[in-house]
Structure 1
């Protein structure tokens, strides 16, 4: 594989280009891509043109660049989380009808929770998560559930910090967080009031595979009031249904935690 004078491969540079796009900046000009990817603009321009040719990137009418349909197609077709999402959707829809605010499906990827699906409604309480969005494990109910059942080395890495405080209610004290994780393992539910926004409460339960391994988290984001816990039975019932519908096994080698 061709390498630059610095020894960096072409593939490494392509990955840097692709990873500059996010939900806040889905389209960028070549100069901005080069700056964010820390590439010379001529190198970035050449690689972008090749990626456009393959359909991995595309150009808008104003010449801004965004992720191409071909990349979306490949990612959707090969996604290791596709089976989980398909199994969960009927139960998510029923749960959403009961909750009336937000319901979402998340998996652990490293020390973050990655959201595979979210259903919402007009007028629902504020919720910063989005499909394909990420949040640190300690900061959301889904993340807390996943962290509580993560391998010990993952827990210790997160507990070692730094732990970002989104609001005064986000738990950033390692000892307090460790206690919360133990409570979640015992009780089977995480109720996180005002962790990300003081107006919202996250309530989450684990999803287990046929080996009883926690592979995902099912959560609702509802108003931060005395009624938040009333949704726990519906979440637990939906989680049992999804787990039955999956009927497959998750890997145990720690390299990935949502393969179906």
Structure 2
């Protein structure tokens, strides 16, 4: 079940913050040049997993434009996106639609923007949707396009259990941090079923770094240590839009052998 860029546990970059307002302090996305600088810094620093989605506003478009400049450096990267949650640019909000037609249109658009997808995940996956006929059909369509790694982005243990039971998925994505340990059982569940894990919101959308009297380096290290005490294979996804924050996170990650 390996995919490009796989490692026992690596640090990846979630790309929500370069596409729309997000985070504990609801910060807007960076200017185009700053987003490009962040992505270039990540690749140069050895980040190999990048996670985006249609519901992340302009994230796929920005990231796809960057990928087109990489040439042979694109090889070895794990480019992950999702379908199921969609972005309404006019309203400035997202909505969920897991119907086959909506999923197929979303995937076609993502492929056009990104060029190639290494991992496709069902966004806002639930017990009801992970094995739904329309979703399974859309995943089969994805496989017909050469996408062999499929995942589910879940927010509760029951959805993770259902995804494992379906037998279609190689990856599970979910939030986990020191303020939210609800999904801790999913680590063992994924391990039993041979699934890789993408941990999102490791710093609680920035809350763990802002609402603390500790130095940022200490908060980063302690937050990562809580996650890396779990047994899993996959990635921890930092959602920063700051080059400095990315470098600090990489240093903290690597300082403990990550």
Shared fold per TM-score greater than 0.5? no
Return the TM-score normalized by structure 2.
0.29
Which protein is bigger by CA-based radius of gyration? 1
Higher relative contact order (CA 8 A, sep 6+): 2
